[in-house]
Amino acid sequence: MTQDGKKDLVTLVDSASGQKFELPIIPGTMGPKVLDIRSLYGQTGYFTYDPGYTSTGSCESKITYIDGDAGVLLHRGYPIDQLAEHSDYLEVCYLLLKGELPNANQKEKFEKDIRTHTMVHEQINAFYRGFRRDAHPMAVMCGVVGALSAFYHDSLDIADPHQRMIASHRLIAKMPTIAAWAYKYSRGEPFIFPRNSLPFAENFLHMMFATPCEEYKVNPVLARAMERILILHADHEQNASTSTVRLAGSSGANPFACIAAGIASLWGPAHGGANEAVLQMLTQIGSKERIPEFIARAKDKNDPFRLMGFGHRVYKNYDPRATVMQRTCHEVLDELGVRDEPLLELAMELERIALEDPYFVEKKLYPNVDFYSGIIFRAMGIPVSMFTVLFAVARTVGWVAQWNEMIGDPHQKIGRPRQLYTGATQRDFVPLHARG
């Protein structure tokens, strides 16, 4: 806004016609201002071209703020390291969904609301048996979460705020159960039902590792580490999976279908699949002596290999989540008495060498959240194929919060990008006998 109360504007000049166009600038509370291009096509006849949306703000949001250059991540204004240190996952869920940290009564009620939805419909139990035992658990997650819309008909009306709230609670509450059961199914072990007396992360670890045969006590250090990992992954602004959820939801699709779409997007190795890919990469590298060979491959434009767990679209500095993750990694290994974890030593050496290499320095490629998480998961006894599933469990609240925000946004429209068409121009149909 200028001092006389007028909107700041950017003037565009069409060099072909000499015509001038004005576009308003909108400020946020933090971060770069945005250019409001909604009238661009109407005014100029041009669309914008921005593959990968590197310069496009797709929505207005009050949930998460990232300053990628400074390595800052805030949820509703609170720094991620403070939340990871002092809060718990369900409290962060409340914060993301409702905008404020809960007071004691609100916290107790929210935890109870989530607890009452941890079980899944008994018929879902049977649904698992349609999958092969060796199916990737992310494939099972896409299927089972998508299928929730076939079970919970009373929370599909997105125009009803109460139904939206119930669907949100159901998704947050049932995701650990669905994920743990995907693991149990792959092992041929009986499903373990949720224990609502346990805190969120502990309950999840219990469903993963307990059996009906004997008492299983979750290690409190591991439960705390899992709680922290869930917090670190809870939301991350308009990333690929969140944008997928918003785009799917923009058509009015039901929340369970939208979250299943988010899970599918998360699965890719450039996104949530990176934690699995990091461990595979470290195993492939095998020894410190081979690091230079893989660094050289990562820099080679003719080699598709990339250092997994390195680089980020937004962070051009150390990912603040990776800092907490590295600390948590040491805590977990200490607790488990793992003195020499070759993969951790390899990861730390790889990080050291990469951060001194001009290629990674110039391109500002730093370790991201996925670089250390796999080592922690492995030490906890979680199989590699479950790594991205854990990310999905944690990110569900982010997806749900962003979906709710979108539904409540008066500017919300169906997402419908345009394109730069470079295909054939109009031509007449050629009958089969006349084609060469």
CB of 315 to ligand CMC, least distance (A): 8
Residue 422 is classified by DSSP as: -
Q: Six-digit token pair at 184?
A: 């149990």
CA nearest to 49, candidates 421, 388, 307: 421
Whole-angstrom distance, CA of residue 32 vs CA of residue 6: 19
CA nearest to 243, candidates 34, 405, 371: 405
Specify whether the CB–CB gap between 411 and 250 falls below 8 A: no
In the complex, which residue's CB is closest to ligand CMC?
A: 311
Catalytic annotation, pick one of 236, 312, 319, 357: 312
Q: Which is nearer to ligand CMC, 167 or 307 (CB)?
A: 307
Catalytic annotation, pick one of 88, 319, 357, 370: 370
Q: Which is nearer to ligand CMC, 255 or 273 (CB)?
A: 273
Q: Which is nearer to ligand CMC, 107 or 297 (CB)?
A: 297
Specify whether the CB–CB gap between 370 and 278 falls below 8 A: yes
Q: How many helices (H) and strands (E) does the chain have?
A: 18, 6
CB of 234 to ligand CMC, least distance (A): 13
CB of 52 to ligand CMC, least distance (A): 6
Classify residue 130 by burial, with Cβ atoms within 10 Å: 0-12, 13-18, 19+: exposed
- Output phi, psi for 22, to 5 deg: -115, 135
Contacts with ligand CMC by CB under 6 A lie at 52, 239, 270-272, 274, 298, 306-313, 363, 365, 368-370
Q: Which is nearer to ligand CMC, 110 or 387 (CB)?
A: 387
Q: Which is nearer to ligand CMC, 194 or 367 (CB)?
A: 367
CB of 112 to ligand CMC, least distance (A): 32
Residue 78 is classified by DSSP as: E
Is 370 catalytic? The answer is: yes
Whole-angstrom distance, CA of residue 311 vs CA of residue 275: 13
CB of 429 to ligand CMC, least distance (A): 40
CA nearest to 144, candidates 93, 181, 188, 101: 181
Count other Cβ atoms within 10 Å, centred on residue 52: 8
CB of 240 to ligand CMC, least distance (A): 7
- Kindly list the distances between the CA atom of residue 417 and the CA atoms of 52, 247, 260, in Å, as whole numbers in the listed order: 12, 10, 22
Q: Which is nearer to ligand CMC, 143 or 309 (CB)?
A: 309
End-to-end CA distance of the chain: 62
Is 319 catalytic? The answer is: no
Question: What is the set of active-site residues?
Answer: 312, 370
